[in-house]
Structure 1
Amino acid sequence: MTENTDQDVDFAALVERHRAELHAHCYRMLGSVYDADDAVQDTLIRAWRGAAGLRDGHAVRSWLYTIATNVCLTELRRRSRRGLPHDFSPAAEPHTPPGIPMAESVWIEPYPDSSLPPGKASPEAAYDQREAVELAFIAALQHLNARQRAVLILRDVLGFSAAEAATCLSTTVASVNSGLQRARAAVGERVPQRTQQATVRALGDDALRGLVERYVAAWETCDVAAFTAILTEDVTFAMPPLATWYTPRTSVETWARESPLNGEWRWKVTLSSANAQPALAFYAWDEAARTHLPFALNVLTLRGDRVCDVTAFIVRSTDAPDDGSYQRFPEQPMDQRSLSATYERFGLPARLD
């Protein structure tokens, strides 16, 4: 075995201190955990090549983020933005069944938040680390152009000064300040006034547990009335990779009664967390396997003591050629990439007996 050099040891220590933050940063920029994996890998390769020339230990953080940000900007020039179904089409009529799914590269992916550090990245940041991965915030970021997205994250999430952000992006302080003003206005129009972190704190552990338990019980017993009683009047329910989504509550109720809660499918649910929000991993009964197999990771967004949005990230195959197959989506085989991005990455079981 080759003996490690001092540079090997120092670089490994540096990487471990910053890897989780860098991954979250790349996810915020790109909206995909897979793309974030690739961006971090590229960042570390580039950093390793330049590590020998780094003399100022205090500059490590900004140096790494400069590399990571520019890796993401390069990637964003090669592809269109990601989003959620609400961003691409109007809501479906309540009796409308889902159509053929859109390409997986269109959609924001859920983020496993278990490795996120608590609090703010620096005292100057406007958002703490968990607020800055909430689904509404990530979706809002995708509406910014790439440079504005980078400016907002560098300044308000990471707490970089305007001068540091300008250096990172090879631009001027005036340009950073101008871009930040526009980015803040655009994001402010799309995110709720109260973050999910503040909502959950105000609700309290017992009330949150009770809400989630009622939601789970309603699905496991196919109780449409109990399910819709938990929802706000203006609730939205989306199911990427399906472009179809439903709102308001009356439409969600009709769709639920005619499709997932009509009694044809048997559900089991286990608790999780994604994007620093409550999440529920749904499993559908599979007759051939004689067990419940993964179907969708549902990320819940709360307002007060009700659910105001559900984004169900489905992990079944999109290879069926006709619309009718997706009216019975729980009967489609597993999509391994989606399964890996959600159930496996989130440490969820492969089946529920």
Structure 2
Amino acid sequence: MSQHTAKSADPGENAWLRRARAGDTSAFDQLVKPFRKRLHTHCYRMLGSPFDADDALQETLLAAWRGLGSFEGRSSLGTWLTSIATRICLRMIAKRPRRQTSADHAAPLRSTAELGEPVEGAVWLEPLPDGELADDDDPAAILLRRESIGLGFVAMLQHLPGLQRAVLLLREVLGYSAAETADMLGTSVASANSALQRSRQTMQAKTDIGEKKPVDPQGLERLLQAFVAAWESRDIAAMVELLTDDVRFTMPPLPAWFSGRAFVEKFFSERVFETPWRLEPLRGNGQPGFACYIRQAGDDRFRPGGVVLLSVADGRITAIDSFLDPAVCRRFGMREEIG
């Protein structure tokens, strides 16, 4: 029996459900409160943007409120809400282009002279602050969450057709059975299983998620401290020592990105380190990162320059994904200025 099969509901949940069905909106808020973060994270994986996930969650809760009378308790409340959220995400996927990474958009640059104009609009894969993830004290669940929310994994999901994306997440991330997944998506078990097989083939062919060694916490902390020291002191030699040979540096919404240690070194040396910076630690997508503040010429204050998330393997940095959109900076709680 699946972990999501309906069981005897919590007495408190039943009470909130009765009151919500009678039209009590505050009772409905209490009823769905335990599920909000989980639903939002699911929508984020489906859509590749926390802002799109906001819209999907709002629509999900509105649909649940309007359809509460049709909830018969054959599945758990969480399953019912996830089914609504998934179908809403599938409709959104069908109506808009998929979110993309810098590598999807263009080839890497070899010169730092011209970085191009920002590509605006709902184009780019965007990061999710760790503070918006559902709380979970189970170490195994925390590990799964990190693996299934990383930028690389979420980016790869965007290459799957909507149905395959949904089936993969419902089966392998959320743990639903084939029968439950088929029921939630209004399809057959055979169709759901076929979609799962195709999605697995695509993911295995194009990503190495799950193959990396666990990061040693103490080693990671030393690496992060060295990264901050190198960036803030604008020490190009120290920075390069922290990078893998195939490191990449991306910076949406600018289309420019750099691939390989030599070109990332060139970008740091010729562009990034032209101005002073201050870095403050943060986390997004289960990854370490920094709020990066820049001080432009003629200014005595450091102001938001972007959110940076790092990918790490074998003690070195494999990717520096920076997000320059002011909306992303605000979402991660960056201040307007620091001294």
Per the normalisation by structure 1, the TM-score is 0.84
Q: For the residues of structure 2 that align with 1:83 and 1:214, how far apart are their CA atoms?
A: 30
Give the gaps of 5 or more residues in structure 1: 316-338
Q: For the residues of structure 2 that align with 1:343 and 1:254, how far apart are their CA atoms?
A: 25
The CA deviation at 1:222 is: 1.1
1:65-116 CA deviation, whole Å, 9 max, x = no partner? 1111111111111111111101222211144531122233110111012242
Indicate the residue corresponding to 2:171 in structure 1. Answer: 155
Corresponding letter in the other structure for 2:154: I
- Whether the aligned pair in 1 keeps the contact of 2:102 and 2:256 (CA below 8 Å) is yes
The sequence identity of aligned pairs, in percent, is 38
The CA deviation at 1:304 is: 1.1
1:25-64 residue pairs with structure 2 within 5 A?
25-56=42-73, 58-64=75-81
Q: For the residues of structure 2 that align with 1:137 and 1:244, how far apart are their CA atoms?
A: 22
**Which one is further off, 89-98 or 101-110?**
89-98
- Whether the aligned pair in 1 keeps the contact of 2:147 and 2:209 (CA below 8 Å) is no
Q: For the residues of structure 1 that align with 2:180 and 2:93, how far apart are their CA atoms?
A: 22
Indicate the residue corresponding to 2:127 in structure 1. Answer: 110
Q: For the residues of structure 2 that align with 1:58 and 1:164, how far apart are their CA atoms?
A: 9
Q: For the residues of structure 2 that align with 1:195 and 1:112, how far apart are their CA atoms?
A: 24
The secondary structure found in structure 2 opposite 1:106 is coil
* Counterpart selection for 2:190 from 159, 165, 174: 174
The CA deviation at 1:209 is: 1.4
Q: For the residues of structure 1 that align with 2:266 and 2:311, how far apart are their CA atoms?
A: 21
- Whether the aligned pair in 2 keeps the contact of 1:199 and 1:302 (CA below 8 Å) is no
Corresponding letter in the other structure for 2:170: L
The CA deviation at 1:58 is: 4.4
Indicate the residue corresponding to 1:352 in structure 2. Answer: 338
1:31-58 CA deviation, whole Å, 9 max, x = no partner? 1111100110000000001113323174
CA distance change for structure 1 residues 216 and 49 in 2, over 3 Å: closer, same or farther? same
Corresponding letter in the other structure for 2:56: A
* Counterpart selection for 1:268 from 253, 256, 278: 278
- Whether the aligned pair in 2 keeps the contact of 1:220 and 1:269 (CA below 8 Å) is yes
Indicate the residue corresponding to 2:12 in structure 1. Answer: none
1:145-201 CA deviation, whole Å, 9 max, x = no partner? 1111111111111111111111111111011111101101111233324467x533x
Give the gaps of 5 or more residues in structure 2: 1-15
* Counterpart selection for 1:230 from 230, 237, 242: 242
Aligned length: 318
The CA deviation at 1:10 is: 4.3
Corresponding letter in the other structure for 2:323: F
Corresponding letter in the other structure for 1:346: F
Moved over 6 A (4+): none
Indicate the residue corresponding to 1:20 in structure 2. Answer: 37
1:186-201 residue pairs with structure 2 within 5 A?
186-194=202-210, 199-200=214-215
Indicate the residue corresponding to 2:291 in structure 1. Answer: 281
CA distance change for structure 1 residues 194 and 222 in 2, over 3 Å: closer, same or farther? same
Q: For the residues of structure 2 that align with 1:193 and 1:345, how far apart are their CA atoms?
A: 26
Per the normalisation by structure 2, the TM-score is 0.87
Q: For the residues of structure 2 that align with 1:277 and 1:291, how far apart are their CA atoms?
A: 28
Are residues 1:301 and 2:311 paired?
yes
Indicate the residue corresponding to 1:141 in structure 2. Answer: 157
CA distance change for structure 1 residues 29 and 94 in 2, over 3 Å: closer, same or farther? same
1:197-245 CA deviation, whole Å, 9 max, x = no partner? x533xx22x2211111111111111111111110000101111011111
The secondary structure found in structure 2 opposite 1:308 is strand
**Which one is further off, 18-27 or 108-117?**
108-117
Q: For the residues of structure 2 that align with 1:170 and 1:11, how far apart are their CA atoms?
A: 26
The secondary structure found in structure 1 opposite 2:165 is helix
CA distance change for structure 1 residues 286 and 253 in 2, over 3 Å: closer, same or farther? closer
- Whether the aligned pair in 1 keeps the contact of 2:304 and 2:334 (CA below 8 Å) is no
Q: For the residues of structure 2 that align with 1:55 and 1:10, how far apart are their CA atoms?
A: 18
- Whether the aligned pair in 1 keeps the contact of 2:93 and 2:162 (CA below 8 Å) is yes
Are residues 1:76 and 2:102 paired?
no
**Which one is further off, 169-178 or 343-352?**
343-352
Indicate the residue corresponding to 2:5 in structure 1. Answer: none
